[in-house]
Amino acid sequence: MPSRYAALSRAELATLVPELLLIGQLIDRSGMAWCISAFGREEMAQIAIEEWAGASPLYTRRMQEALGYAAAPGEGDVVTIFKGLQLDIGAPPQFMDFRYTVHDRWHGEFELAHCGALMDVEPMGPDYVRSMCHDIEDPTFDATAVATNPRAQVRPVHRPPRTPADRTPHCAWTVRIDPAHPPVEGIPALAVNARSRAATLALDPIDPAGPDEDGQADYAGPLVDDVDFAAFSHSALVRIADEVCLQMHLLNLSFLLALRARTGDDETQFRTVATRQLTGIAGVASERIRRALDLPADAAGALQVLRLHPLLNPAAYVEASFEDGTVTVGPSPAHEDGAWLAFVGPAALQPLQAAVRGVDPHLDVEVTGEDRSWTAAILTRDEPAPDADEVAVTRISTGATFEFEPRRSLPLVVL
């Protein structure tokens, strides 16, 4: 099925792709607050570890193969790892401002000149900082490397809590690949997630002879310090956008596996936390998409936003049509996975309401149909709706209002 992003211009896609990467990062700002409330800080940290370790190896490999920089299993180098991080919702550009150094194929370093995640967590105190920068980062950095080379080790040079309190860069790490290192193995949830429709979804390959022949059709060339998305071809940007949405779905599926392990047979608690996570990110995602593309803040603009929203993309994963002020959804691979779409329908309006109200608070939806086949009509109310608590919690993140800046992209060379 053709991508819904194909209707955008190359310039619009170059603007939207980093927005999608940042939206993916904010999923945790939406979900983890409710995990803390339900299970406590320590269990929240363990959920986050399982969430990222059960998803990032899958989507990292997908992006490598899509953009032509994948190595044979077990033969990937630090350049491959760094390219993957640049296209990872765990490291959106500028908000997570990674700076890379390559010594040779097997040795490199990176530092974060700015860590938006740290800016969000520092006000919560040193225990939360340690949970993120120690407990969560240690296993998940190595887990991400599984897709490239299981004998890669990512180790800290320094990291928060910051001493002194204004220390920059915020953290620094080494990356070493050595045949003598014990191989990292995926967690059990990784094998479960690998069987999902999202993990195995076939998307249209990048067309190297498309309408923008001068644009890059891959990332097989040198590693650059800042990815210039405008340098990619239209076809490449469409595929990247679809892959980034799949990253979000895979991360959410992994989150749901970790959540189910804690809630057991308590379906009410499971669905409550899952729906709150979706509602928060749905609203903030709409805000950012509308603002980035300068879409109208009305019902017509909301329909355009929903057409581009990660909840309803990629088109091969979510069966949907958009016309005459309505969104119609049919049975989809996303339903089979129990993904976000399974938490939206005639009896579950909150995520869609948050999504349209992220465009304008006067908007609402009326949903008719069944759980897996429904139509949502976008309505305009006389009075604005108050912020949903879930959206307000997510908006506490500095990422909700973060603004990207123009940067030059320079190739990195081996020192």
Name which of 14-23, 298-307, 317-326, 402-411 the model is least confident about: 402-411
pLDDT per residue over 36-76, tens digit each? 999 999 999 999 999 999 999 999 999 999 999 999 877 89
What is the per-residue pLDDT for 72? 84
* pLDDT band, very low/low/confident/very high, at 144 (cuts 50, 70, 90): confident
Q: Is the pLDDT of residue 414 over 90?
A: no
What is the per-residue pLDDT for 351? 98
Residue in 313, 308, 302 with CA at minimum distance from that of residue 377: 302
Q: Give every CB contact of residue 291 below 8 A, 6+ residues apart in sequence.
A: none
- In this prediction, what percent of the chain has a pLDDT beyond 90? 90
Q: Is the pLDDT of residue 213 over 70?
A: no
Instruction: Count CB neighbours of 378 within 10 A.
Output: 23
Please provide the size of the chain in residues. 415
* pLDDT band, very low/low/confident/very high, at 123 (cuts 50, 70, 90): very high
pLDDT per residue over 278-320, tens digit each? 999 999 999 999 999 999 999 999 999 999 999 999 999 999 9
Provide mean pLDDT across the span 95-108.
96
Residue in 113, 130, 114 with CA at minimum distance from that of residue 122: 130
Q: Give every CB contact of residue 55 below 8 A, 6+ residues apart in sequence.
A: 190, 193, 247, 250, 251, 253, 254
Q: Is the pLDDT of residue 28 over 70?
A: yes
Which residue spans within 223-362 are E strands per DSSP? 320-323, 326-329
What is the per-residue pLDDT for 298? 98
